[in-house]
Structure formats: C-alpha cells, structure tokens
Structure 1
Amino acid sequence: MRETPAARTSVPGAAAIRAAAVAAALLTVAAGLGVRSAAGGDVAKYAGDALYTVLIHILVVVLVPRVRPGTAAAVALAFSWAVELAQLTGVPAELSRQSTVARLVLGSTFNAPDLFWYAAGAALAWAVHRRLPAGRLARA
C-alpha cells in the first residue's frame, strides 16, 4: 500500500517515535511503582508482570521505531516467557542473589500464572501501539 502525502506528514519520524517511547517507558515504570505502593499481593504482582512485558514492548520500539505492533508484542512476549522459563534452571535465582538489577530483570522463582499475565501485557501493548500513528502505518 502506498503512503499518501497526508499520511507521511502525520506519521512521526524515528526520533519522535523514540522520544515518545522513552516517555511511555517512564510512565510504565511509574505505573508499576504506583501499583506496588497502592496495592499488594496478587494484584501488584500480576500487574507488575503485565507491565514488565509492556515495558519490553516499548524498549523494542525504542530500538526499532518502525516495528510493527504485532512484531513488537511477539518479541516482548517471547522475551518475557524466556525469562520466566529460565527461572526453572535456577540461574536467575543465583544472579538475583548477587545483583538487584538481575533480580528486577530476571526474577528468581518460576510461577506458571506469570505466563498468562505476560500475554495480557503483550496484548495491551499491541492494542495501544496499533492505534498510534506509526503503528497504523506499520500495519498497512
């Protein structure tokens, strides 16, 4: 499908997409911290899982600004699932004992319901991304 001149002017360039994605990443981290401070237990944990995948999706957009929404969501979901499944090996648990950053990124203990919440986060990120101007063009 060919772009119309109007479509070209309404779609932001790579730098603008990256800047918006960085802002979205900061908002996502703030949302995660907000949920943890306002709620506890399963609500905070599973919201954090979903937001983790949303953040990975956004970081994919930072790296590849013109990525299709479905591709970014699939990469984010695959990464999230890979990290969760790696927890079955015990390697993330060992790294988490040595580093706070590793604990935040890799977690430590496998939890099967997390796989669902990662998928929910990927679906949310896909739904938002596809409605953005660059996402609409990438779908075409």
Structure 2
Amino acid sequence: MSIWKTRCEAGAAGLLAVAAGLGVRVALGGSVAKYAGDALYAVLVYTLVVLVAPRIRPARAAVAATLVSWGVEFFQLTGLPARWSEESVVARLVLGSTFNAPDLLWYAVGAGACWAVHRGLSGGRGRMRAAREEK
C-alpha cells in the first residue's frame, strides 16, 4: 500500500474516531460513554501515529498509542490539564482534567482494537510472519 493511501486512510479513521467519540458522549452519557470515549481517544492517537509513520508495524503503533494516551493521563496528575480545561474546551477534549486509573485500561483496549484491525487489513504482515516464511 502506498504511503499516501495509508495516510489518507489513517486521516479518515481519525476523523471517524473523533465523530464517534463525540457522538458516544452525546448519545449514551455516563460511564459507558466515558470509557468508550477513552478507547476512542486511543484510536485517534493510533491513527495519528500511523499518519506520521505510515510504515509502522501494527504492534508498534499500538504500543505508541497506548504510551501516549497513558502519558496524557499521568500528565493530569500535575493539575495543569485541569487548569487549562477550565479555560478551553479543546484542552478539556485533548488533555482531560483529572486522573482516573481505569482510563489506562480503556486506552489499551482502544489501541489493541486498532492493532487487530490494522493487522487484519495489512494481511497479518509483520516480522513474526516474515520470519516464519523464511524458515
């Protein structure tokens, strides 16, 4: 697949993740919407990782998306995102405001779902498969 096509698909998936995340919050509410939003946040981060590095392997993209999402969550412990969220809706959507440990699980769920879809779409290509084919 060409880099351009991969980037276009990642961009489209990112827009869908944003729309789904906002839609879930409006349609469902409560903890279901919150944790679905967390998973979709990781989906968005995953798509941004692929957008920046279109040749990245699905497993590496999933790890990167999980670590970035976790980094944002732990950044909330500083209190800065809460302060910024009071003044900006964008800051609230991007950085959140308060640390919540269960969010860490849901970020991993979202990144894992992306890994599975990405791996399936790429025909399961990866180092492990290539190594098996060489034997």
Partner of 1:19: 8
Deviations 1:59-109 (A, max 9, x none): 000001010101111111001111111111101111212322211111111
Aligned partner letter, 1:63: V
User: CA offset at residue 116 of structure 1?
Assistant: 0.9
User: CA offset at residue 138 of structure 1?
Assistant: 4.1
What is the DSSP-based 3-state SS (H/G/I as helix, E as strand, rest coil) of the residue aligned with 1:130? helix
- Aligned ranges 1:129-140 → 2 under 5 Å: 129-133=118-122, 136-139=124-127, 140=130
Partner of 1:108: 97
- Whole-angstrom distance in 2 between the partners of 1:38 and 1:98: 25
Partner of 1:93: 82
- Whole-angstrom distance in 2 between the partners of 1:104 and 1:35: 14
User: CA offset at residue 125 of structure 1?
Assistant: 0.9
Q: Quote the sequence identity (%).
A: 62
Of 14, 27, 38, 1:49 maps to: 38
- Whole-angstrom distance in 2 between the partners of 1:98 and 1:87: 15
Please give the TM-score of this superposition, normalised by the length of structure 1.
Answer: 0.86
Aligned partner letter, 1:26: L
Structure 1 contact 88–110 (Cα < 8 Å) conserved: yes
Identify if the C-alpha distance between structure 1 residues 108 and 29 changes in structure 2 by more than 3 Å, giving closer, same or farther.
Answer: same
What is the DSSP-based 3-state SS (H/G/I as helix, E as strand, rest coil) of the residue aligned with 2:125? helix
Partner of 2:70: 81
Moved over 3 A (4+): 135-140
Does 1:64 pair with 2:42? Answer: no
Structure 1 contact 50–117 (Cα < 8 Å) conserved: yes
